[in-house]
Amino acid sequence: MELLENYLRHICGTEKVKVNEPLARWTTFRVGGPARYLVLVEDKAVLVRLIKALEYVEYPYFVLGLGANVLASDAGYDGVVIKLNFNKIEQNDVFIYADAGAKLGAVVNYARDHGLAGLAWAAGIPATVGGGIYMNCGAYDHCLGEITVMVDVLVHGEIKTLTQQQMEFGYRHSVFMEQPAVILGAYFRLEHGDKTEIENQMQVVIAKRRRQPHAPSAGSVFKCPRTDFYVGKVVESLGLSGYTVGGAMVSPQHCNFIVNTGNATCEDILQVLYHVQDTVEKHTGVLLEPEIIFLGKFE
């Protein structure tokens, strides 16, 4: 273990390596026990070198974006959590390239500033480019897969470029969920537009997002099983608004949100999640599928 720690400090920098770092500091749910190591990676070449080494010694790792769609275990994560801190964004005509560590919001603003339309719907989504592509994040009848034309990835120590078709985008789905790879960066195709009009579209979206719960959460917890099944409304209709276990609660503002009211544990959130699942299945026959990612050890 000491050898691994020394290696991490050597290639990433001593100040970039944190030992037994609470994951609650790095997830929007604000819960989670310690990661054995958490490393901040500032350079793509360093990331490639690090991943190759970890895979060679078969040491577990997890690449973390903004932690906005992650539920971290109270027991923590016995491996290396890699936080991407490289965030280059570039333009070539109607194409934008963005590093995996770039915030999606920064890409949205960059597109607006360069008069490129097609991303206003993503204003306010708390995600990095890598995390957004991994789960094909979306809102208001749009998703990232619609405009993603190529993605640079690291697979078994080799850098490859995947096309849109190869990424197998679907509702909250990409090929990376079945075929693990580390996303390095992505190319988006947009279209020329008017900056003022794009800004107006963004403000409409941001205004809608302001009506969502502000307490710590991971956004929508469950996927919509079909287009006519609105999870939040169904959960509310079953009397689960405000249902609480410990510090976790079904938000009365939006019943597809589970919020941390201040002192929740991962176990509290899980118990609320399971109760909602069981209740909805009992009354509708539909088993809700979580769209959040579970990090660490779970029973």
Known catalytic residues are 172, 220, 291
Determine the Cα–Cα distance for residues 121 and 144; give it in Å rounded to an integer. Answer: 10
CA atoms within 13 A on the CB side of 178: 9
Length of the chain: 299
Distances (CA, A) of 156 to 133, 135, 180, 243: 19, 21, 9, 44
Give per-residue burial for 154-180: e unless 16+ CB within 10 Å, then b: beeeeeeebebeebbbeebbbbbeeee
Torsional class of 13: left (φ above 0), alpha (ψ -120 to 50), beta (otherwise): left
- On whether the CB atoms of residues 26 and 128 are closer than 8 A, the answer is no
Determine the Cα–Cα distance for residues 24 and 179; give it in Å rounded to an integer. Answer: 28
- On whether the CB atoms of residues 109 and 195 are closer than 8 A, the answer is no
